[in-house]
Amino acid sequence: MTAPGGGPVLRVRKLGVSFGQTSLVDGLNFDVGRGEIVALVGESGSGKSVSSLAILGLLPGADISGSAVLHAPGPAGDRDGIELLGRPERLLRPLRGKRVSMIFQDPMSSLNPIRTIGAQLREILALHAGLDGRAAERRAVDLLAQVGIVDPQGCMRLIPQRLSGGMRQRVVIALAIAGGPDLLIADEPTTALDVTIQAQVLRLLLDLRADMGMAMVFITHNLAVASAIADRVVVLYAGQIVEDAPAAAFFAAPRMPYSRGLLAAAPGLDRIASGARRLGTLPGQVPPPDERGAGCRFAPRCAWMMPDPCARRMPALEHVAPAGPGGPPHLARCARLEEIGE
């Protein structure tokens, strides 16, 4: 299920995020197509969460550059779209929850602990759907049923403490889709859950995409999760995109050495990773923002590293040949792309 018709819902170009002198993310380019699920993958410190928070204007004190354009749904939507970066809070705020929603990792703390589920849903519905009273009540129950809550009426009267982690994440998702957004940014939404619950929540997100045609940016460090949900995988390393590929192509043959290392190091995926019978490990760790050299940022950890050009020059994000005519592009950032081969 890739590359649906029409332009992308979100088009990010040259996104840069820095705090003072420290640059966390630079030159990020990626698109999210209508109804497409893009997995942003990387280790902690790679800049996945920071980028998505920056897009929504939720990073106070950060210097943000570049562009992130949100396109309206339907053929009648405005062609130019809405520039999110630099948009004043006053104009940005009404878009959050209505056009783009974001949910976070920990369902235990993502809901207000002293308000009932009903009150929290009604608040969002009043805000984004203009519903109140009976109508809001009915819609809230519908939403809870839609995200798979067994007793929606009863759930409305409960406070989050009475729900299990999986139930809470379902409620959080209900809140996020209440405004009918075109795009959902989910920041590690399954990481804090048990494995069986993880699978249920992933299933729910896929169902919602099928029902609502909602696009998703799915942030995860877990490649197994990404393989279960993503249409496309974007790998981040030290604040840069190092590979951007259709999921099938990525999991069949990742091209950038870092992606290969990640895949080899992912438990449960070693059968997919070509050639790796055992769980591999990636030596070292992501360099902190102020220790990034001029060359390839992965070079210090890379098995294929050569002093020249790897340590000297930053490789560009290039097309991996051959891309079929009109087929989805596969990009990777590596100077020795051709030598390393598939």
Partner 1 sequence: MTGFLLQKLGVNCLLLVLVSMVGFVLVHATPGGPLAQFALSPGMTSARLAEIAHGMGLDRPLWQQYLHWSARLATGDWGRSYRDQTPVLTMIWLHLGATAQLGLASLILSFPLGVALGIVAALRAGTRTEHLASLLSVVLLSLPTFWLGLVFIYVFSVRLGWFPAGNLTTPGHGAFMDHLRHLALPSLTLGLVSVPLWSSYTQAFAGDIWRQDHIRTARALGVPAWRIVVLHLLPEALLPLIPVAGVYLPTLLSGALVTETVFTWPGIGRLLLDSLQYRDYPVVMGLLVFSAALVLLCSLVAEILHHLCDPRLRG
Q: Which residue in the set 115, 139, 221, 312 belongs to the binding site for partner 1 (CB under 8 A)?
A: 115
Q: Which residue in the set 23, 46, 51, 101 belongs to the binding site for partner 1 (CB under 8 A)?
A: 101
Structure tokens at 90: 């006053």
Work out the widest C-alpha separation in the chain, in whole angstroms: 68
Q: Count residues contacting partner 1 (CB under 8 A)?
A: 34
Q: Which residue in the set 175, 216, 241, 247 belongs to the binding site for partner 1 (CB under 8 A)?
A: 175
95 binds partner 1, rule: CB under 8 A: yes
In the complex, minimum distance from the CB of residue 104 to partner 1, in angstroms, rounded to a whole number = 5
146 binds partner 1, rule: CB under 8 A: no
Structure tokens at 133: 């009273």
Residues 6+ apart with CB under 8 A from 290: 21, 22
72 binds partner 1, rule: CB under 8 A: no
Choose between 98 and 139: whose C-beta lies nearer to partner 1: 98
Choose between 91 and 210: whose C-beta lies nearer to partner 1: 91
3-class SS of residue 14: strand
Q: List the one residue out of 329, 58, 60, 292 whose CA is nearest residue 187.
A: 58
C-alpha to C-alpha distance for 318 and 242, rounded to whole angstroms: 10
Residues 6+ apart with CB under 8 A from 332: 242, 243, 244, 245, 255, 256, 259, 317, 318, 320
Which residues from 27-66 bind partner 1, rule CB under 8 A?
56, 58
Per CB under 8 A, the segment of 30-38, 97-105, 142-150, 276-284 that binds partner 1 is: 97-105
3-class SS of residue 94: helix
Structure tokens at 65: 């550059």
171 binds partner 1, rule: CB under 8 A: no
104 binds partner 1, rule: CB under 8 A: yes
The strand ranges marked E within 98-161 are 100-103
Q: Which residue in the set 127, 129, 253, 272 belongs to the binding site for partner 1 (CB under 8 A)?
A: 127
Q: Which residue in the set 113, 133, 322, 324 belongs to the binding site for partner 1 (CB under 8 A)?
A: 113
In the complex, minimum distance from the CB of residue 192 to partner 1, in angstroms, rounded to a whole number = 10
In the complex, minimum distance from the CB of residue 62 to partner 1, in angstroms, rounded to a whole number = 14
Residue the block writes with tokens 């949100």: 70
Contact 17, 25 (CB under 8 A): yes
Binding site for partner 1 (CB under 8 A): 56, 58, 89, 93-98, 101-106, 109-116, 123-124, 127-128, 159, 161, 172, 175-176, 178-179
